[in-house]
Structure 1
Amino acid sequence: MNNNCMEAGKLYQKIGVVKNLLALDLMSRNPGDRVLPISEYQDKFGVSRGTIQNAFACLKECNAITLENHGHQGTCIKEIDYKKLQENCMRREILGIMPLPYSVTYEGFATAMYLQFAPLNFNMAYARGAVGRIELVESGTYHFAVCSQYAAEQSIKEGKQIEAAINFGPGSFLSRHVLLMSDSRYDSIQDGMRIAYDSSSIDQSCITRNIIHGKKVTLVPIRAQQTVNALMDGIIDAGVWNYDDIQEHKHESLNVVFLDNFEYNNLFSTAVMVIRKEEEYLKSLLKKYISVPKVVEIINEVREKKREPYF
């Protein structure tokens, strides 16, 4: 009797897994599309014909899909409810987290995410510091986080159970970081200077360590976003910051120094979407709905004032 219960439990579990996979597969389809033959789903998911049929029955019962038999032409999708399909392959809405949208590039990125995920239940949160954002993904609080490729790779090296699901290419996170200095007489860090340091920002803290190497300086713990104000208020002498923000807000009184290649590389300017390691269902979903060229196009349109930001 106990063995029968265990076998039944395994069967229901298998149907549930296949239902998730099937729902994920159907989310990329449209009304009128032909459904793959049962035999193809058998090969795709490695299960029996009956398991596939039961999974389809579950999705039809909850009104996620309505199918129509067209005889020799096969079975087609008559109606499809993407949000109900989503409920069958995810426990809740898709939740992402990215940097605070203080620059036009981040505004463009947030706009692109909402447009790309428009057919689904989706929400984006905003928080400073890649360290915190990555921890929130690793804990399962958020499905994905947006950070630089450098921050993702560094976190993985340190043992974080995450992976980069999508890479958006150089310039997608920001144009570049620069060194801001209060004194126009200098173009590099000098001994005795007070330097902004944000330990919660993997990028800013790493670049800062690179440029102060061998110098006798004082590190002043402040948030990266406060760098400009801290310079103007005389709290620090120099700090690393986002060049996009400098251009947008025209901080002409500050001395902007571009960093050498050995101090800086494209990994800092490249946006990636990180997820928990081995979340294959989620990775497949993101790749189906996110078009990297389209995201880059939307970012550029917002940058060039051709599109109003929406997030």
Structure 2
Amino acid sequence: MNGFDDRFLTRNGLAARRLAVLLMGHEPETRLPRVKDLAHELGCGNGTVQAALRLLEESGAIETSARGHLGTFLTHAERAILWQLSGLGTLLAAMPLPYSRRYEGLATGLRAAFEAAGTPFAITFMRGAGARTAALLEGKVDLVVLSRLAADGLVEQHQDSLALVADLGPATYVGAHGFLVRKGASLDAAGLRVAVDHTSEDHRMLAERAFAGHKDVRWIESSYMQLRDLFAQDQVDATVWNLDEVQGRLGMEVDVLPLGDEVTRDLALRNSSAAIIGRTEGAKALSAVHDALDLSQVAQLQTEVLRGDRIPSY
């Protein structure tokens, strides 16, 4: 479809644009809902739905086949045209700063998966899950990428406003976590000085859970860029951290120890999975996005970037 067809500015056309959002979630060779059900969903008459379907067919967005008592089937759909007609525009996703190869691979995989799904997609980078979520709630971005751990907490906190779009699976957000302990310090000591990054919702939750059983913990505000100096200057004793961030940065100042109890390991697992959240007001569009995304492609391309087999492209 070249340019924008003025017919989509009419009443029937506006119904067609709303119908385009619904049809993005339907796979080819699946039966369409009955006209009266679509009319109820769109809040219009049966005739308007039939006219909307004709408009979508004439635009090249869909092809349908009437099969008697079996109903009408969607035989072909051009997602790029459906998305254009829907008026949803380019989806802007907020991601963490791409300081690690894993994040570069994640951005590369997401861009490729959205493009394959026929969905215009752009990325902006922001530090801190809280800052990214604030931008989402304010309508400045459409999607946010964060850990599944942080996503669960934020969706529960804003259940009327936010919804989970996708979980990309373990090790897509970060790799292994571990305790970082200053040489000469002990995790069993009272009054541990523990580094924590309160701008990172998932790190705050993970650190608080990991050190919940320790006495008189003193929290020391930090970022991954400050860790080496804090340990070297004897200002912190320990922390729990994403090892992707600190690999090769801390030299001989710390020992890396495995995480302990089962609950902490579960939290670390959820913290390692990348999740995508969006606003509930766009639930239909988010459902269409979820259904179209090939999550295995995201993980595969991320793995290729991590191995050095693919140059990051985002």
TM-score (norm 1): 0.77
Residue 269, structure 1, aligned to residue 262, structure 2: no
| Counterpart among 294, 298, 308 of residue 295 in structure 1 | 298
Instruction: Report the CA distance between 1:234 and its aligned residue.
Output: 4.2
Moved over 4 A (4+): 26-29, 56-61, 66-72, 74-81
| Counterpart among 9, 20, 23 of residue 22 in structure 1 | 20
TM-score (norm 2): 0.76
- Cα gap change, 1:195 to 1:23, in 2 (>3 Å): closer
- Cα gap change, 1:75 to 1:243, in 2 (>3 Å): closer
1:6 is matched with which residue? none
Contact map agreement 1:18 1:45 (CA 8 A) in 2: no
1:104 is matched with which residue? 101
| Counterpart among 35, 42, 60 of residue 65 in structure 1 | 60
Instruction: Report the CA distance between 1:96 and its aligned residue.
Output: 0.6
Matches within 5 A, 1:120-135: 120-135=119-134
Distance in 1 between residues matched to 2:238 and 2:257, nearest whole Å: 10
Which blocks of at least 5 consecutive residues in structure 1 are unaligned?
1-10
Instruction: Report the CA distance between 1:50 and its aligned residue.
Output: 2.4
Which blocks of at least 5 consecutive residues in structure 2 are unaligned?
1-9
Contact map agreement 1:198 1:221 (CA 8 A) in 2: yes
Residue 42, structure 1, aligned to residue 43, structure 2: no
- Cα gap change, 1:292 to 1:281, in 2 (>3 Å): same
| Counterpart among 89, 93, 98 of residue 86 in structure 2 | 89
Percent pairwise identity? 22
Number of residue-to-residue matches in the alignment:
289
Matches within 5 A, 1:202-217: 202-213=201-212, 214-217=214-217
Matches within 5 A, 1:132-147: 132-147=131-146
Distance in 1 between residues matched to 2:76 and 2:164, nearest whole Å: 36
Contact map agreement 2:167 2:275 (CA 8 A) in 1: yes
| Counterpart among 270, 273, 288 of residue 285 in structure 1 | 288
Deviations 1:152-191 (A, max 9, x none): 11123334521212112222211232222231x3452633
Contact map agreement 1:196 1:224 (CA 8 A) in 2: no
Matches within 5 A, 1:154-233: 154-160=153-159, 161-183=161-183, 185-186=184-185, 188=187, 190-213=189-212, 214-233=214-233
